[in-house]
A and B are shown apart, each in its own frame.
Chain A
Amino acid sequence: MTVETKGLTKYYWMGKEKVVALDGVDLKIEEGEFISIVGPSGSGKSTLLNILGCLDSPTKGKVFLDGAQVDYRNKRSLVILRRKFLGFVFQTFNLIPALNAVENVEYPMYFNKPLKSKSERKEKAMKLLALVGLEKRANHLPSELSGGELQRVAIARAFANGPKLILADEPTGNLDSVTGRSILDLLTRLNNEEKMTIIMVTHDFESAKRMGTVIRILDGRIQEQER
């Protein structure tokens, strides 16, 4: 999926005080790219990701996904975008505690009507778990898994509906550096194999540089886009 933004701006109002989270961001991301966004805390990384992920709406500016402008006022179209084209990976994993690993991976498929039969869904979920190397943990509850394993399940879940864009906000933020590297390796591998675009926010600049394009952001503005 190609991603393009034009003059993307986001203000937050704290009482009468205006907080500028994004200040005219112009981006152009090609199909299949692995983009890392780095920058100091409070620079607007999460805000950008949330807007691209249709979880938040911009104050000004435009976003184009695969060339089509996103209409942030049309709730229904946002739901469809999230459901069919986007996948999220969170810093805090966000697995559903009541469901085991494979059920967590199946969960988004449930909202995507074309995947009708239960067995079809389960089969696909098992495949995705195998892809992240966790087929043996399929029946474990989240409380029975390690941090790295949780994030692998979460990544498998992000792939559930065959998304064209993966958005990951500090996916390694809650993991030790070794586990973090393995998660980054997994994302890189999936990016190569499955060919979808990945946009990731990270603090690990060194690793980011090795993986692809790095976008540096400061005070809501793009500093540089290096390949």
Chain B
Amino acid sequence: MMELFLLAGRQLRRKKLRVFLIVLGIAIGVAAVIGVTALGEGIRVQAVEQIKASHDLTTVEVSAGAEAGNVTLITESKIKAIKQEENVLFVAPYVKDSYVTQNNTYLAVKGVTPEYRGIHSNLQLEQGNWFDESTHSNYTQIVLGYDVAKRLAVTEDLGVGDEFGAKIRLYGEEGPPRDKSTVVKIVGILESAGDEHDNQVFVGITEAMEMDEKDAYDGLLVKVDDPAFVASVREKIEEIGLNAQSAQDVIDEVNRLMVAVTLVLGFFSGISLVVGALMVVNTMIISVYERTREIGLSKALGASDLDIMKMFLAECLIIGVMGGILGDLLGIGFSVMIDLVGKPFLVSTLGGELGASLQAGSITAITPSILAVGFAISLVLSIVSGLYPARRAARLSPLDALRQI
């Protein structure tokens, strides 16, 4: 086996320039694929990092399940079941209601537990206190999100400590919605959370459920002890018929998209590889012509068709290995170049937050598997391109081949 390659190496050394040109041709094609793939991978990694930085990766968001027309509600028993799952630290159920003030200002209300605030650590008080559910009063204590507070201050001149009448709208199983009157008191106002919570009004969950007469929760946050177990916890939740989502879904989505984009781009940049392949075919066919006598001789000396085929394929394999190594090296150089030249350009065109986030890291990412694929492409390409010429060589009749001048 070793000798087969020594022999092939000898043959290749007799046509150094030609071999160098093919190897270079293949390597450039491989490098183009590697560069494009590394760019796609780099952007994917950056996007995922960004999602990880802005999302809580240990929380599963649960909502009522609806499968084949069957609605599964988040009931107390379901919550108990979820709590007992392994790796679940705690759960934070919530309900959603809508209140209307006397001036017809609509308020989106969320009934929450202290655990909910534990998960959403960006909910911080600016003024006042959180509601105290232990003390029972004849009004409902509410905490306003940053934007709601501003709105109510301007339109209705309300602030911490103020009481006002509101109507809660109840949607029964059937019939038109019913309105129920109540008195609420603003006990606190939140700092800007920077997300949808700024438009929310918060109530204690027990009170909220008394008011809205619901016997199931509208949603549930499940805190898992480690991001690695989020998927399994999620599966368990889905098994009991509920709908579960996590930041991993967003990450998966980004991954799917970027992989698809990278594959398409990689495929088209791979078209340059066709040129390399044709060069191999051409050179090997010429080589078969040049060595026709040698092939005839080898057959006279006892070589089988397979032996001849192997000899030519060994040469292709060596070309493939060299093309793979050089292609990987050029590919690394290519992606470094993309980083140097392409990054400033991307940062300035994208601008803003996205641009700034790119600034930090590298926009290309070379992974061992990208290099391995690049190497494999070169190898497979040169072998496949060598198949036809090698077959042609193997099929020569020994006598005809020997007669050739």
* Nearest residue, chain A, Cβ from B297: A94
Digit string of A85-116 for contact with B (CB within 8 Å is 1, else 0)?
Answer: 00010100010111100000001101110000
Bound form: Cα–Cα A83–B14 in Å = 27
Shortest Cβ distance from residue B399 to the other chain A in the assembled complex, whole angstroms: 5
> B196 contacts the other chain (Cβ, under 8 Å)?
no
Segment at the interface with A among B137-145, B181-189, B298-306: B298-306
Q: Name the distance in Å between A47's Cβ and chain B's nearest Cβ.
A: 10
Roughly how many angstroms separate A60 CA and B297 CA in the complex, as a whole number?
26
Return A90 CB to nearest CB of chain B, in Å: 8
Among B10, B293, B307, B398, which residue has the most Cβ atoms of chain A within 10 A?
A: B398
Place the interface of chain A in its size category: 20 to 34
Contact call A118/B3, Cβ cutoff below 8 A: yes
Q: Please choose the segment from A29-37, A49-57, A187-195, A207-215 that sits at the chain B interface, where 4 or more of its residues have CB less than 8 A away.
A: A49-57
The CA of A75 and the CA of B305, in the complex, are separated in Å by 9
Interface digits, A142-183 against B, CB 8 Å rule (1 contact, 0 not)? 000000000000000100110000000000000000000000
A137 at the B interface (CB under 8 A): no
Find out whether the CB atom of B300 lies under 8 angstroms from the CB atom of A111: no
Known A-B contacts A98-B11, A98-B14, A118-B3; the reply to A112 vs B302 at CB < 8 A is: yes
Does any Cβ of A come within 8 Å of B294's Cβ?
yes
Q: Is A20 an interface residue (CB 8 A)?
A: no
Asked whether A130 is an interface residue with its Cβ less than 8 Å from the other chain, the reply is no
A84 at the interface (CB under 8 A from B): yes
B14 proximity list for chain A (CB < 8 A): 97-98
Q: What are the residues of chain A within 8 A of B298 when measuring CB–CB?
A: 107, 111
- Residues of chain A from 3 to 25 with CB closer than 8 A to chain B in the complex: none
From the candidates A76, A83, A94, name the one contacting B402 in the complex (CB within 8 A). Answer: A94
Candidates A56, A98, A157; contact of B399 at CB < 8 Å:
A56
**With known contacts A55-B398, A94-B293, A118-B3, A99–B10 Cβ distance under 8 A:** yes
Interface residues of chain A, those whose CB is within 8 Å of chain B, are 50, 53, 55-56, 75-76, 79, 82-84, 88, 90, 94, 96-99, 107-108, 110-112, 118, 157, 160-161
Given contacts A84-B302, A90-B402, A112-B302, 6 further A-B contacts (CB under 8 A): A83-B303, A98-B11, A108-B301, A110-B3, A111-B304, A160-B301
